[in-house]
Structure 1
Amino acid sequence: MRFVIVTGLSGAGKTQTIRCLEDFQYFCIDNLPPALIPKLSELCYASGDKIDKVAIVVDIRGGGFFDELFQSLKTIENMGYKYEILFLDASDNVLVKRYKETRRNHPLANDGNIIDAIEEERERLKEVKKKAHHIIDTSNLSTRQLREELKKIFISGEKFESLVITVESFGFKYGMPIDADLVFDVRFLPNPYYIEELKPFSGNDVPVRDYVLKWNETQEFLIRVSDLLEFLIPYYIKEGKSRLVIAVGCTGGRHRSVTIANLIYENLKRNGHSALITHRDLTNDTLGDVR
């Protein structure tokens, strides 16, 4: 029996998650009052093989009922029933954007102030997040990517790493990413922009990639960055960090940074990490300035 409690911030993807779990043949209930969890778990465990996968969504839409969650969890623990908590998170900026796009009201935004509502919700969910078995930050996840992460946890049985790493290339001429946790400046590498036949291409193209990779300093840099990340990542996970943004910058964000970001991303995936790749400035005035 897998008994999954889905919770997290409003707008972080609980609806999409429960739809995915339904596709995975989970028996799903949305917005269940926490006081009913012990009775539901008792019925499900008593059903034998009839119901072997259950997922319920419990969140602050339940109002005062939500505060009974910890008591209900203690009750089912005393009953000898196992459960998992899946916590869905996202950055404040992403949550605000999602609410503006959908024109929905936040459950706690009685006065219409979404930022204050998100802060209040984070505070109320703080202890629940600490108790979570799985944390997914959906800030940079598409619906398809979220589905893949859920599949890893609840279908494939793969080891789940709660830290989602985003590798982002950028151009310093357009400003540094404001959400970057680690920034690597690769402007020290030879610049393909000054090679006439390479100028029209980007770091996603083989000629530029081969040019960037042929230098000894590139090879040594990649080894050192890989060693640093493999050292840091377990500690980020240990401290409960759910999202890590690694930014790689060159002058224009089209050649060197794109290639290096791709290589870092590929290495992270080979090492079994949950990673995403994005190129912020790849299409910015492609030939108008030094790269």
Structure 2
Amino acid sequence: MRFVIVTGMSGSGKITALKILEDSGYYCADNLPIELIGTFADLVYSQTSEVNRVAIGVDIRSGQNLGKINKVLEQMKNKGQEYEILFLDCSKEMLIKRFKETRRAHPMGENKSVAHGIKVEQERLAFLREQADYIIDTSNLLVRDLRVELEKIFVQSKGYKNLFISVLSFGFKHGIPTDCDLVFDVRFLPNPYYEPELKHKTGLDREVQEFVLNADVTQVFLEKLIDMVRFLIPNYIAEGKNQLVIGIGCTGGHHRSVTVAGELYAALDVEDAQYGIKISHRDINR
């Protein structure tokens, strides 16, 4: 039996997570009254129940009753009913953007700003975040990325990788991504833009990659970059960081940054990595 409690910030993707789990064979129920969770657990853990994978959504919509969930969880534990807590988190900036895009009011808004609602919600959910078995930051995750992570944990039962790394190429002339934790400027590398046969290609093309990578300065930089990031990762994991965005920038985001980002991603995307990783190229089509 797997009994998963899905919780987290409003706008972080809890409903999407429940739909993904439902597609994966979980029986899902959202926003059950806190008082009924114990009864529901008794039913699914009974010998007559055919349900062996369950996910329930619990969040700020429970209001003042939310604090009662600790007593319910303690009772479940005393009965030998195991459970796991999945907490979906997200940066304040991204949450504000999502609420503005959907034109929805924050459930804790109380006729105040979305930022105020987020702050209040963070405070009220802090105790659940501390108890969580899994924390996934969805700030930079697409739905397909979230699906991959959830299937690894709750379907394939692979070891959970608490740190998720995003390698992002970009062009400085379009602005530095606001969510980057680390930014590396590769505008000092040889520029394919000034080669007529390469100008309209990108760092995804072999010819551009060879032009950039054949330079000695590129090889020295890559060696130092990869070594530093490999050093940082276990320290970030030990510190409890769950989201790391590494920005690689050149002038336009077409050639050098794409090439270097690809090389960094390839070096970090290893089979036994203690983290999840993805790559994206923000400005490659601009």
TM-score under structure 1 length normalisation: 0.91
Q: Is the 8 A contact 2:43 2:49 kept in 1?
A: no
Greater alpha carbon shift after TM alignment, 5-14 vs 179-188: 179-188
Letter paired with 1:64 = Q
- Residue equivalent to 2:108: 108
Percent of aligned pairs with the same amino acid: 50
Match of 1:281 among 276, 280, 283: 283
Greater alpha carbon shift after TM alignment, 34-43 vs 240-249: 34-43
Check 1:98–1:175 CA distance in 2 against 1; reply closer, same or farther (3 A cut).
closer
C-alpha distance in 2 between matches for 1:280 and 1:178: 12
The C-alpha deviation readout for 1:57-93, integer Å capped at 9, x for no partner, is 0001010111112222222222222111101111222
Q: After TM superposition, give the deviation of residue 22 of structure 1 in Å.
A: 1.0
- Structure 2 runs not aligned, ≥5 long: none
- Residue equivalent to 1:289: none
Mapping for residues 71-90 of structure 1, pairs under 5 Å: 71-90=71-90
- Residue equivalent to 1:137: 137
Q: Is the 8 A contact 1:9 1:89 kept in 2?
A: yes
Letter paired with 1:276 = K
- Residue equivalent to 1:68: 68
Count of aligned pairs between the two proteins: 284
- Residue equivalent to 1:157: 157
- Residue equivalent to 2:5: 5
Q: After TM superposition, give the deviation of residue 283 of structure 1 in Å.
A: 3.2
- Residue equivalent to 1:266: 266
Structure 1 segments, 4+ long, off by >6 Å, are none
- Residue equivalent to 1:183: 183
SS at match of 1:94: helix
- Residue equivalent to 2:95: 95
- Structure 1 runs not aligned, ≥5 long: 285-291
Letter paired with 2:285 = T
Greater alpha carbon shift after TM alignment, 166-175 vs 9-18: 166-175
C-alpha distance in 1 between matches for 2:85 and 2:213: 43
C-alpha distance in 2 between matches for 1:227 and 1:210: 22
C-alpha distance in 1 between matches for 2:46 and 2:137: 34
Aligned CA RMSD, in angstroms, stands at 1.8
Greater alpha carbon shift after TM alignment, 34-43 vs 194-203: 34-43
Q: After TM superposition, give the deviation of residue 112 of structure 1 in Å.
A: 4.3
Q: After TM superposition, give the deviation of residue 228 of structure 1 in Å.
A: 2.0
Mapping for residues 133-282 of structure 1, pairs under 5 Å: 133-271=133-271, 272=273, 273-282=275-284
TM-score under structure 2 length normalisation: 0.92
